[in-house]
Amino acid sequence: MPSPLIPAEMRLENQICFAVHSAAHAFAQAYKPLLEPMGLTYPQYLVMLLLWEKDDRSVSELGTPLFLDSGTLTPLLKRLQTQGLIDRTRDPKDERVTRITLTEKGKALAAQGQSIPQAMLCAMGNIDLPHLIALRDQVKALGHTLRAA
C-alpha cells in the first residue's frame, strides 16, 4: 500500500533517474563476465573503446566524452598502464598535458573485444536493432538536455 506521506510521483519506482540508474547497473553487471577474460572493468573498457577508435589522446580528450574529470580518470589510467595496455607520457609541446597511447598489447586486445557488442545484443533479448538505436538516441538526448540545464 502506498505511503500517504508522499505523492505517487515521489515513489522510487516512478523515478526516471532510478530507472536509468538501475539500467546502468544492469549493463555493468552484464558486461562483467565478458570483460573479465580481457582483464578489464567496465570503465576501463570504455577508455579502451575510445583509444581503439583513435589512439594517442590526452587525458582530457578521454575524459570529455566519458564525462570524467582527470581526478577520476587518472587512477583508472594508471591501472591500465600497470596492465601493460597503455603508455602515459608528457606531451613534449606542453608538459602539463599527459598523452595516452596504446601499447601493442592494448592494440591486440581490440580483437578480443570485437565479440562484445554482439554478445550484449544477445543479452538484451528481443529488442530489435532499430528500436535499440532509437532508445540509445533518446537517452543521449536526455543526457544532453540535462547537462545543458
- Is 33 contained in some domain? no
- Is 97 contained in some domain? yes
Per-residue pLDDT of 132-149, as tens digits, reads 999 999 999 999 999 999
- Is 144 contained in some domain? no
Q: Can you name the residues that pair with 60 across neighbouring β-strands?
A: none
Q: Which residue segment(s) compose the domain that 76 sits in?
A: 39-112
Q: Give me the chain's average pLDDT, please.
A: 94
Residue 3's pLDDT is: 62
DSSP-derived 3-state class of residue 92:
coil
Residue 76 has pLDDT above 90, yes or no: yes
- Is 62 contained in some domain? yes
Domain count, the chain: 1
* % of the chain residues with pLDDT over 70: 98
Chain centroid offset of residue 45 CA: 7
What is the maximal distance between C-alpha atoms in the chain?
Answer: 64
- Is 126 contained in some domain? no
Per-residue pLDDT of 78-98, as tens digits, reads 999 999 999 999 988 888 999
Instruction: Residue 94: name the closest of 137, 139, 59 by CA.
Output: 59
Residue 126 has pLDDT above 90, yes or no: no
Residue 1's pLDDT is: 62
- Is 4 contained in some domain? no
pLDDT band at 2 (very low <50, low <70, confident <90, very high): low
Here the CATH number for the domain that contains residue 85 is 1.10.10.10
Q: SS in 3 state form for 8-62? A: HHHCHHHCHHHHHHHHHHHHHHHHHHHHHHHCCCHHHHHHHHHHHHCCCEEHHHH
30 with 36: CB under 8 angstroms? no
Q: 48 exposed, middle or buried (CB, 10 Å; 0-12, 13-18, 19+)?
A: buried
More confident residue, 126 or 130: 130
Once rounded to an integer, what is the mean pLDDT over residues 46-53?
Answer: 98
Look at strands 86-91 and 94-102 and give their pairing: antiparallel
- Is 121 contained in some domain? no
Residue 5's pLDDT is: 85
In this structure, of 3-17, 39-53, 63-77, the range with the lowest mean pLDDT score is 3-17
Residues 6+ apart with CB under 8 A from 86: 51, 77, 80, 100, 101, 102, 103, 106
- Is 92 contained in some domain? yes
Residue 4 has pLDDT above 80, yes or no: no
